[in-house]
């Protein structure tokens, strides 16, 4: 990402912080809608069949959507609760720990797959990519790699660059049997919130570019495309939050 674009994003972040201070509560409704969007988009990337409206009904009204899998309903409720915890955790004056990451995974999988919630993988994990089959670290390697990630997070500043790197590093380790992508996006957004940024949604229309960028990075092709996509999403999300904050009554 060019330095000028990063600087522009940082300027928007600073402006948003000033508007938040001057207009308390201005973004409450936007943040409520954003948490529903984050739940819908993150689960949709992983194959959930619920639409945005159906996700809203499941979470806000407790309605069961006819013809849709129970698993999709449970994942929506779990993810929405995890987002609420992320916002609470972001207010804590401390970086996320390895235990926090496992706790995030517990929340994400609590209802849909309680038998693996918060537990590191017990089996090999593989994914088919355009470059061939990719093997993630073995279960025996995961605890040490997660310890390294925790120590890195403890020392890293709460910047957008750190948030995107945390996402990619967690996906590279792939420490859980399922729910790695959702947990990685939550960790990314936890880091963004700690740094004063809004959380960002990777939308269904971004899915192909997002997965290809992750695969490119995993294949040793660098993280430029991955970071470019996420910076674009962050820039657009900042614009939405700034517009809402400016429209609020001073």
Residues with a catalytic annotation lie at: 174
Structure tokens at 54: 């159906």
Distance CA 135, CA 120 (A): 16
On the CB side of 68, how many CA atoms lie within 13 Å of its CA? 19
Distance CA 48, CA 237 (A): 23
Distance CA 248, CA 143 (A): 47
Distance CA 95, CA 76 (A): 26
Distances (CA, A) of 190 to 139, 168, 171, 211: 26, 14, 15, 21
Distance CA 77, CA 60 (A): 9
């Amino acid at each position: 990402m060019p330095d000028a674009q990063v600087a522009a994003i940082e300027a928007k972040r600073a402006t948003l912080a000033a508007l938040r201070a001057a207009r308390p509560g201005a973004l409450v409704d936007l943040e409520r809608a954003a948490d529903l969007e984050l739940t819908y988009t993150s689960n949709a990337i992983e194959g959930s069949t619920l639409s945005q409206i159906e996700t809203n009904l499941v979470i806000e009204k407790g309605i069961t959507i006819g013809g849709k899998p129970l698993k999709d309903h449970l994942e929506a409720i779990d993810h929405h609760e995890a987002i609420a915890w992320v916002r609470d955790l972001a207010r804590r004056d401390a970086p996320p720990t390895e235990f926090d990451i496992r706790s995030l995974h517990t929340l994400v999988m609590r209802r849909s797959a309680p038998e693996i919630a918060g537990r590191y993988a017990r089996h090999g994990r593989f994914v088919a990519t355009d470059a061939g089959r990719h093997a993630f670290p073995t279960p025996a390697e995961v605890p040490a790699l997660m310890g390294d990630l925790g120590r890195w997070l403890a020392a890293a500043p709460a910047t957008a660059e750190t948030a995107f790197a945390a996402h990619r590093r967690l996906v590279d380790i792939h420490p859980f049997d399922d729910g790695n992508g959702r947990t990685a996006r939550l960790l990314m957004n936890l880091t963004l919130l700690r740094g004063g940024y809004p959380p960002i949604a990777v939308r269904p229309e971004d899915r192909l570019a997002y997965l290809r960028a992750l695969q490119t990075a995993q294949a040793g092709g660098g993280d430029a495309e991955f970071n470019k996509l996420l910076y674009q999403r962050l820039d657009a999300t900042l614009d939405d939050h700034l517009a809402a904050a400016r429209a609020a009554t001073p």
